[in-house]
Amino acid sequence: MGIEEILSKYEPKMENILLILHELQNARPGQFLSREDFEGVAKYLNLPLSKVYETATFYGLFSTKPRGRYIIRVCVSTPCYVEGSEEVMKTIEGLLRIKPGETTEDGLFTLEEVSCLGICGVAPAMMINEEAFGNLTSERVAEIINSFRERGEEK
């Protein structure tokens, strides 16, 4: 779906900016927002380009770089930290040889640190795209990553 088509689904009001950015990001392979997206939104909502960038970066929900097919979001808020999110992060970094904010060379995985995912009852927790995983241990994390790697390589 092109940018014009997505924009036309929303009234050109500031209150729709997050919905618009979200849909644009998801529509693009690599799940990111390009300069063209920012310019299109600024024009459509009659806002300065800087305001659109500022809004997108403030929420930390959007990326300006292409990301992997699977986006791993590890919660690093206090309840998860206390239960071992640091170990989870180290395990993933070791398995994929990337740091938070980076994408593997094969384009399969992007690693991100996020705050509370709303599933603190099963801390430490993470999400991979829309799937949530809790009560993580290094072994469990390795199994999960391997299963996604297999899925990704099948395609």
The reply on whether position 119 binds ligand FES by CB under 6 A is: yes
As a whole number of angstroms, the distance between CA 142 and CA 148 comes to: 10
Rule CB under 6 A: choose which of 125, 127, 141, 145 binds ligand FES: 125
The reply on whether position 141 binds ligand FES by CB under 6 A is: no
Rule CB under 6 A: choose which of 16, 64, 77, 138 binds ligand FES: 77
- From the CB of 111, what's the least distance to ligand FES, in Å? 16
The reply on whether position 80 binds ligand FES by CB under 6 A is: yes
The reply on whether position 79 binds ligand FES by CB under 6 A is: yes
Could you tell me which residues come within 8 angstroms of residue 25 by beta carbon, excluding any fewer than 6 positions away?
Answer: 31, 32, 33, 37, 62, 63
User: 128-140 b/e with 16+ CB inside 10 Å = b?
Assistant: beeeebbebeeee
- From the CB of 89, what's the least distance to ligand FES, in Å? 12
As a whole number of angstroms, the distance between CA 15 and CA 18 comes to: 7
